[in-house]
Amino acid sequence: MKVKQLYTNCLAQGAYYISHNGEAAIIDPLRETKPYLDLLKQNNDTLKYIFETHFHADFVSGHVDLANATGATIVFGPNAETSYKSYIAKDNEEFKIGGLTLKVLHTPGHTLESTTFLLLDADKKPHCIFTGDTLFIGDVGRPDLAIKSNLTQNDLAGMLYDSLRNKIMTLPDEVIVYPAHGAGSACGKNMSKETFDTLGNQKKTNYALQNISKEAFITELTTGIAPAPQYFSKNALLNKSGYKNFEEVFKSGSTALDAEAFEEIMQNQKPLVLDVRKPEEFGAGHIPGSLFIGLDGQFAPWVGTVIEHLNTPILLVAPEGREEETITRLSRVGYDNCIGYLNGGFEEWRAAGKATASIETVDADKYVDLYKTGIETLDVRKPGEYDADHLEKAVNKPLDFIYDWAGGLNKENKYYINCAGGYRSMIAASVLKANGYKRLVNIAGGFSAIAKTGVATCKTSCGKS
């Protein structure tokens, strides 16, 4: 018996490969199929089933392409409806993978179709559960993402309470819990950095599995949920209705363009120019009007938060050798309209004598001296980060909601921008600059560097707006 977790840090997402006696199943695959096809070949396995725990909101699953490539059956739990060929399983239905059994446990609450899959070994002994977004390590799934549901988040939270207690907590303590996400995902509030655990330990440590009333559980689960990123509902619909073939998306995006061709497309088609280099590289020089979202950060979630339309035509400025990685990671969250990349990267653009722009950057020591003179500071961290510790005169403007607050700033003012380490603040600066704000300064090292200077900070909500 083989159970392999395939964890992708950028999305904080876990897919799973199960095999026995030459048959395999894959649970919640990512968009690109090659890693799974390679595993099947390496293990000399035939893919029999692709199980989906629910309609994922934070990424586009690879189930449709993988089924087309292998002939495997896509399986959802009860209440799911798809626009493509799939099998909708019944509660407690069992599926054979070699000598193993995968049992369907319908666990609605995160969404109506949410399902946990219980793996029984060759002796029919419970071995592990693949919980999707029903149960995380240290947390449970948010109850506000159901597609076109007439139910309230309180209704769904109540369903989740029952699902956990009637379907999951009745299983043996030694059963291993394999969730769809870990820390960093927006699908829960406070997930652990651990990516699996025993159910027995979760019964002891996970707040959602404690001896609390349904009413208390609902209150806890629905309090403090940040609004879902705008791309969540769009990704969920793609997972329900289908999407472009990944290989076609990849081929289109992999078009290498010299500086002249790149500039011509910019002028004629008005695409979004997305620069995915490091923050300091973008700050030092970039194509005017381009947007920064660096690959070396939580790239896909910020793409999904900041780029408002999935079908936006995108031209890439990437580090040499990382263009294909960028196209793949864009596709994971449904951005399938990449139309090419700058061959040779930004240095090719500069060498061709094209116009460039920059964003001023200051180090923390210089910034603190300026801060004492009364400059304006935007702190673009999440509200919880800001409340934990911040500069008293810095105003909280979370990057997550930049389009809600950007219009309220004065384009004539000079703004210093900080996040935790300098990544999100450069994203914010690039968005603001592309929208006509010219006097922007990024604080290198962010609040982490600021705090080390010894400047007085504030651990309450003072300064928040």
* SS3 annotation, 43-75: HCCEEEEEECCCCCCCCCCCHHHHHHHHCCEEE
Mean pLDDT of 321-333: 96
Strand-strand pairing, 126-132 and 338-342: unpaired
DSSP single-letter state for residue 408 = G
User: Is residue 465 very low, low, confident or very high in pLDDT (cuts 50, 70, 90)?
Assistant: very low
Among 379, 463, 391, 355, which residue's Cα sits nearest to residue 428? 379
Domain limits, the chain: 2-235, 244-351, 360-451
Q: Quote the CA–CA distance of 23 and 25 in Å, as a whole number.
A: 7
Q: Collapsing DSSP states into helix, strand and coil, what is residue 9?
A: coil
Largest CA distance in the chain: 72
Q: How much is the average pLDDT of 284-299?
A: 96
Gap between the Cα atoms of 363 and 82, Å rounded: 52
Return the exposure string of 307-336: e unless at least 16 CB atoms fall within 10 Å of the residue's CB, then b.
Answer: beebeeebbbbbbeebbeebbbbbbbbbbb
Helix H or strand E encompassing 383? helix 383-388
Helix axes 63-70, 34-43, angle to 10 degrees: 40
DSSP-based helix, strand, coil % in the chain, nearest 5? 35, 20, 45
What is the band of 244 on the pLDDT scale with cuts at 50, 70, 90? very high
Please state the rounded mean pLDDT for residues 151-163.
Answer: 95
CATH topology for the 244-351 domain: Oxidized Rhodanese; domain 1 (3.40.250)
Q: Would the pLDDT of 62 be above 50?
A: yes
Q: Comparing 244-351 with 360-451, is the CATH topology the same? A: yes
**Separation CA 439–CA 461 (nearest Å):** 27
Average pLDDT of the chain, as a whole number: 95
HEC string for 174-207: CCEEEECECCCCCCCCCCCCCCCEEHHHHHHHCH
- Band of the pLDDT at 241, cuts 50, 70, 90? very high
Sheet strands side by side (includes 376-379)? 360-362, 440-443, 415-418, 376-379, 394-396
pLDDT attached to residue 460: 54
Residue 259: both structure tokens together: 């500086």
pLDDT of residue 10: 86
- For 427, phi then psi, to 5°, come to -60, -50
Q: For residue 268, give the amino acid letter.
A: N
Q: Which fold has domain 2-235?
A: Metallo-beta-lactamase; Chain A (3.60.15)
Q: Is the pLDDT of residue 161 over 70?
A: yes
Which pLDDT value is given to residue 104?
Answer: 98
Separation between Cα atoms, residue 251 and residue 13, nearest integer Å: 25
**First and final CA of the chain: distance in angstroms?**
55
CA angle 456, 459, 463 (to 5 degrees): 80
Q: 360-451 belongs to which CATH class?
A: alpha beta
